[in-house]
Structure 1
């Protein structure tokens, strides 16, 4: 077989900014100072955001993650660049140049991988932060759209509900039997109480402009329509109904027969 001459690359040599040792030292001092300030600044941001609960907001969450990425992003390349500034100049590969001015192929590939991975991560974070800032700046336009949809849906449903109750009231008042009227009013009053609580809390939450410093009130109102109202529904629509109570009695009796079978069924 014919042998082919091949050159195997095992390392790369860094190009220097200048061949002057003084300029190299000046570049080292300048970039080392910038790198040190970058490390300290980003580390302080991470520490402050983590320790201060007032900064536990979406904006500072992204800022904290951006600082973390910046810490790793600069550490991947800058230390090797600083070492290259301190390597001795010259065309021949001295022992000092081998330690500082070159990089092996595996190290270069590893550095390349982490550099672009962290760069891509930073791009995604910056893009997300830009969208977050857009939502914050145009928080009023979004509220207007939300209020418009909420007003149409909630007030529209409320209008049809009240119209139905107006027809029910007219029908009940037209009944000749007082007992029938009381029964109809009893049934409608239970449902109307749920409607009043549910629609009242929804209107308070969504069909009005947002007011600052009302977070506690909003929490209480949200609990009412998300927890209290679902609790009232089975109490009003089932336990007050005679047919449902009879069905529950039958169900309980059947469960008892299954769990505690009598001697006759054995």
Structure 2
């Protein structure tokens, strides 16, 4: 089974939209969003690390969040912008795997960091007198390092399992980056393989066929268990188009909004920003 398959060496990304009238407008819009994302997040990192008044656990975590957001957006937004000038983009098999791995890594890291930040706020509110003892610099660094170790492990496991599947037919990805659901749609359907095996009249032939596919069936079980956990949603004909819109929100828009949500409305950050811009003002 499958001895003469030709493995796909590259994929074609269809981009966000095929409507030519929208491409120029969307390019300008997303270029502006990406520019604001980089300026906002990198500016907050610089401000937090250069102002002694912001050297607290909360702002340390916020600086890490800004780093994750700027990195997360940089992984896919440049390709999104490039896609507005081409009908489709090619990306190598390895490049697709690397992009998915980095997207998964930064996405997982952000989820874990938000949980850490929730614990930090819980400690500050419920254990105020012990806050600085509990949330020591050493613990903060350990928590961030642990979140990255877990994120790297998750990205390696998930991406590794996905790209161990056989890709030997269609190579067009209906997305603007190598996201998990559209890539999975290109893998061989094991439902059809199972049906074919069950229709075999010889038990020996069934045994050999199952033995040949056993490793892939194991991967499928592990893969879909993880994928359902991350992308649990009803399937429909329009779900892929909806996924692209949702992806824009969490890969492009949210990294731009986080500095506004977490930092610019904060009184201490405003004071630090004025101090950096206007000179050394008394804190």
Q: TM-score, normalised by structure 2?
A: 0.43
Q: Which protein has the bigger helix share?
A: 1
Structure possessing the higher radius of gyration over alpha carbons: 1
Q: TM-score, normalised by structure 1?
A: 0.46
Q: Of the two structures, which has the highest relative contact order with CA contacts closer than 8 Å and spacing of 6 or more?
A: 2
